[in-house]
Chains A and B, each alone.
Chain A
């Protein structure tokens, strides 16, 4: 009966939008076709309808008319309902389509399409044009994105299992989320960690299982002046000191390493002696190990040993 439901909801919206006064439930039932006869059945359906309209963002107000009886009534204020006047120049309308396309198939794709529809309804011709510039895309493959965005949007605290790097089991974390940030193509959530009493940043792909809401909307306060972008950047920390590695690289191999080399000179035996810079020995050892027998570390010793450890691990 989806058609009847649409008709009824449409009638309800038009009725409440046109009303100059608060209309009581009884007045609404008399005006809008499609409601059941008995008052209890009407009441139940009307409650559900109100929820659905609010869900769509329709500002349904309740109140009583001054000087009248004190029965609660309903209306939709046109001012609260209507999209304010917005006029865009052709070059401005052109970028809207591009902005919506950022989300294509990602979490907010439907919302972006809905926004374009409303803007078109306001008279804007937002076409999906292609532009010669770069086309960015956001991906939201992490299942935690949707609940965390809702939590940030509605200011609700959350709890989730988190598999921190280097930890053996996921830990339960309680967070007041302040914002979500995409950095190097990965999503992070930043906020106040209730257990640790500190600001913390979590990577969404390491969230294990469901994200649960642990409080009502509006119960999180984002401290004034918080810049979530900076919070996530800060977790990258101060870059560790840059060190020099001396590597033997087989001639014709190791391009990835040579690209960042500060010196690269041939030796006699079909190998080159290459100097490169690195800061994270663990990461750099993994990377060097990936070149297998084409690369060997001459120094420093800790890097050399880390590579040997990796290779032994691959052999075991």
Chain B
């Protein structure tokens, strides 16, 4: 190949790309020979971006005291080889953020209750701490309490059903409707989100994927039936929030006094407006307003629903009926 043939890479800033280039040489060196496609996938770039990177590395030239090209590599036949890496054959040390991100994650996994073998986690933490050196220290200043507020036996039974790939019968409390519901579900994943454990499962009643909070499971039976998660069942995209409003949802407007501002923290609001005096106006969307009615009752004077009008009326009627019992 001819030096100077590279085109411009498109991924990120100059320093993003520099980081990738500095990792690329040791990546290949440590594997001796490695495929272009596999490497592109590991670095999250296209093969043509990868080839641009390789060309740029190959083109590095130092002019003084004597001109020389410190890196020699080839990628003929889809296989990358580095024959000369000069002083670049090891990756850069982990930065504080990098070491911390992994160590916090590993410690969180190690703290999870459950029967899984934790020795791999403990060994990895020790090795990573040793390799990160000083960069590991700051991670001790971040702690995550893993207090899974679900009965241990529920979690153990769910885990066992998942291991055996069996269907579960759940008696499940739905607080928004104050109802105990009965349903059969086919388990998919166990998740720990915002400090609570959830079962992601195909709900055979709803014929849809649902998340079930384990601390709301009232009763559970592992059925003698194989779980059948349909092909169309997609994991819930938990990384973009648990609640995803849809266009058909009811638009609810709440006005919160200072003491009710926590509502804006707890529920995903479409809009939050400061209306002065410490008060907030929030807009949220929900397919089912029963939980909003309950929320409004619990807020009392700290939060008022102002729309829709029929919900406002419902809340007032309910409060009046409840008060009549104390008359």
**Chain A residues engaging chain B, CB cutoff 8 angstroms:** 2-3, 5-7, 9-11, 13-15, 17-18, 27, 30-33, 52, 55-59, 78, 80-89, 91-92, 94-96, 98-105, 108-109, 111-112, 114-123, 132-139, 149, 152-153, 163, 165-169, 178-186, 205, 222, 228-229, 232-233, 248, 253-256, 259, 286-287, 289-296, 304, 307-316
Task: Give the residues in chain B near A27, CB-CB below 8 Å.
Answer: 64
Asked whether A134 lies within 8 Å of B192 as measured between CB atoms, the reply is: yes
Q: Complex Cα distance A7/B295, Å?
A: 58
For B261, the chain A residues whose CB sits under 8 A away are: 163
Contact B191 A122 (CB under 8 A): no
Complex partner residue of A118 from B94, B100, B120, B140, CB under 8 angstroms: B94
A185, B266: Cα distance in complex, Å: 11
Does B152 reach chain A (CB closer than 8 Å)? no
Say whether B120 contacts A6, CB under 8 Å.
Answer: no
Interface residues on chain B, number (Cβ under 8 Å) = 122
Q: How many whole Å from B261's CB to the nearest CB in chain A?
A: 7
What is the number of contacts between chain A and chain B, taking CB atoms within 8 Å? 366
B146 adjacent to A311 (CB under 8 Å): no
Pick from B108, B240, B278, B323: contact of A138, CB under 8 Å: B108
Across the A-B interface, give the 6 residue pairs with the lowest CB-CB distance, nearest first.
Answer: A313-B300, A313-B301, A185-B194, A185-B195, A123-B30, A99-B105
B226 at the interface (CB under 8 A from A): no
- Tell me the smallest distance from the CB of B88 to a CB of chain A, in Å: 6
Give the complex CA separation of A3 and B301 in angstroms. Answer: 60
Known contacts A153-B141, A165-B259; can you find 16 more A-B pairs with CB under 8 A?
A3-B14, A31-B64, A33-B63, A86-B131, A95-B106, A120-B23, A132-B163, A134-B192, A153-B138, A181-B144, A182-B143, A205-B265, A292-B318, A311-B300, A312-B323, A315-B316
B173: which of A178, A256, A310 is its contact (CB, 8 Å)? A256
A103 to B99, CA, bound (A): 13
**Contacts from B to A (Cβ < 8 Å):** 6, 8-9, 13-15, 17-24, 26-27, 30-31, 42-43, 56-57, 59-65, 70-71, 86-88, 90-102, 104-106, 108-109, 112, 114, 116, 120-121, 123-124, 127-128, 130-131, 133, 138, 140-147, 149, 155, 159, 162-163, 173, 175, 178-180, 189-197, 218, 238-240, 258-259, 261, 265, 278, 293-302, 315-316, 318-326
